[in-house]
Amino acid sequence: MRVTRHLGTVVSPANLVTLARLVFAPVLFGMVLAADDSGGTSWGGFLLGGLLAASDFFDGVLARRRGTVSRWGAFLDPLADKVVVIGVALSLVAVERYSLVPVVLLTVREVVITFYRLWYVRRGLAVPARRSAKWKTSVQGLALMLAVLPPLEGADILVDGVLWIAVAFTLVTGFQYLADGSRATSRTGS
């Protein structure tokens, strides 16, 4: 797949879907925060979260269909994922649905790996996403969806368990990125 760099790729259909995910993310945060009396659970939040998750899949389909991956898309898509995941997780902490410790672990890993990958990009090296990172995003999404699902309002053990599974995936893939980056520099001498 070729990586394109011209201005037209900034406003490609795939990137517009990703941008829409960024635009609607604060609406989702607001829905979680507004449902404070029910621990952040609401059908509206669940449905919007599902739409945002579907848009993550859909923007990838659009990009592959065109046969190009733009630099903007490669930057925006994971950024949108992180904004949604971290924003919803912090909103769930604010309404006391999630504990702070697992969300801090998740957030620190996401921020560190984002800057780590940017550091490599600035040196002309790529640390591509692994299949396990795609699984990580799916497990994070599942944890968030279960946390806002109204029938599970009182299912704290289930919600906490799935959150910790998501944190485990998040940390393991973080260590994999560190190892991949280390291998990339040992091969290139950078």
Above 60 in pLDDT, residue 1?
no
Handedness of CA 107, 119, 138, 136 (dihedral sign): negative
pLDDT in tens, 66-122: 666 666 667 778 888 899 999 999 999 999 999 999 999 999 998 988 888 777 777
Q: Amino acid identity, residue 138? A: S
The percent of residues in the chain predicted with pLDDT above 70, rounded, is: 81
pLDDT in tens, 84-100: 999 999 999 999 999 99
Backbone φ, ψ for residue 68 (5° rounding): -135, 150
pTM: 0.82
Long-range contact set of residues 181-188: C-beta below 8 Å, sequence gap at least 24: 181/116, 181/117, 181/120, 181/125, 181/127, 184/120, 184/125, 184/126, 184/127, 185/125, 188/125
- With cut-offs at 50, 70 and 90, classify the pLDDT of residue 147: very high
pLDDT value of residue 116: 81
pLDDT value of residue 41: 93
User: Does domain 2-188 correspond to CATH entry 1.20.120.1760?
Assistant: yes
